[in-house]
Amino acid sequence: MNNKQLFTVIVFSENTVGLLNQITVIFTRRQLNIETLSVSPSAIPGIHKFTITTFVDRDMIDKVVKQIDKRVDILKAYYHTDEDLVYQEIALYKLSAELFTGMNEVEALIRKYNARVLDVNSDYIVLEKSGHYEETQALFDELKQCIGKGVLQFIRSGRIAVTKSRIERLSDMLAAVEDKIQRK
């Protein structure tokens, strides 16, 4: 049972106040850390999508997701392992203009990591890189090693993900619910 791995929980909810709290207390009560969290409106108007990652064993994630799914304002909650998903994170790096441009291999570095330059001025340069955690971390590590304090700020978003499955479960579920209501 004690086989912890990274699971990605995807939750579709109504857009009501206090939903995040309802979800996070379910993790807190079981002493689970949320590694990353991303919330935004989904493709369907009025429905919000939460993408949450957590290290946990399969038995526990199954119970946690059932508890989330049970909440009245939650439409549906699913959990996935990395193999089920195409996923991405985005990172921003604010770098000292002086130290960064003083590096020898700026072009090579940007090419190697496929990073984008978002802003440049005499004080700082902002790079953007999207990728898996290890990839955004690798660029950070290399910058830190090369220019140290020249890395002025670093921020990484929570994971966002789409499923590889060909079945779009939420729209199917909503259709079934609508159908049931019609039949009544």
Partner 1 sequence: MIFALISEGVDTIFGYPGGQVIPLYDSLYDYGQDIRHILVRHEQGATHAAQGYARVSGKVGVALVTSGPGATNTITGIADAMMDSTPIVVISGQVPSPLLGTDAFQEIDVIGITQPITKWAYQIRKPEEIAWAVSRAFYIASTGRPGPVVLDFTKDAQVGTLDYKYSKVTHIRSYQPAPEPEPASIAAAADIINNAMRPLALVGQGVILGGAERELKLFLEKADIPAASTMLGLSAMPSGYRLNKGMLGMHGNVGPNRKTNECDVLIAIGMRFDDRVTGNPEFYARQAKIIHFDIDLSEIGKNIPADIAVPGDVKETLPAVTALLKPAVHTEWISKFEPDEQEEYDKVIAPMLNPPADAPLNMGEVVHRVAQAAGKDAVLVTDVGQNQMMGVRYFRYDCTRSVVTSGGLGTMGFGLPAAIGAKFGAPERTVCLFVGDGGLQMTVQELGTIMQEHTNVKIILLNNRFLGMVRQWQELFFNKRYSATTMENPNFTAIAEAYNIKSRSASTRAELSEAIAEMFALDEAFLLAVEVATDSMVYPMVPAGAAISNIIMGDDNNE
Q: Which residues bind partner 1 (CB under 8 A)?
A: 13-14, 17-18, 21-22, 25, 29, 62-63, 66-67, 69-70, 72-75, 174, 177-178, 181, 184
Q: Which is nearer to partner 1, 72 or 155 (CB)?
A: 72
DSSP bridge partners of 119 = 126
Closest CA to 11 of 87, 58, 74, 66: 74
Question: Six-digit token pair at 132?
Answer: 């898996």
d(CA 50, CA 41): 9
Shortest approach of partner 1 to residue 103 CB, angstroms? 48
Shortest approach of partner 1 to residue 112 CB, angstroms? 46
Shortest approach of partner 1 to residue 43 CB, angstroms? 16
Q: Which is nearer to partner 1, 19 or 85 (CB)?
A: 19
Q: Which is nearer to partner 1, 68 or 91 (CB)?
A: 68
DSSP string, 33-85: PP-EEEEEE-SSTTEEEEEEEEEE-HHHHHHHHHHHHHSTTEEEEEEE-GGGE
Give the pairing of strands 5-14 and 36-41: unpaired
Shortest approach of partner 1 to residue 111 CB, angstroms? 47
Q: Which is nearer to partner 1, 18 or 45 (CB)?
A: 18
- CB within 8 Å of 63: residues ≥ 6 apart: none
Shortest approach of partner 1 to residue 177 CB, angstroms? 5
Q: Which is nearer to partner 1, 11 or 151 (CB)?
A: 11
d(CA 147, CA 101): 10
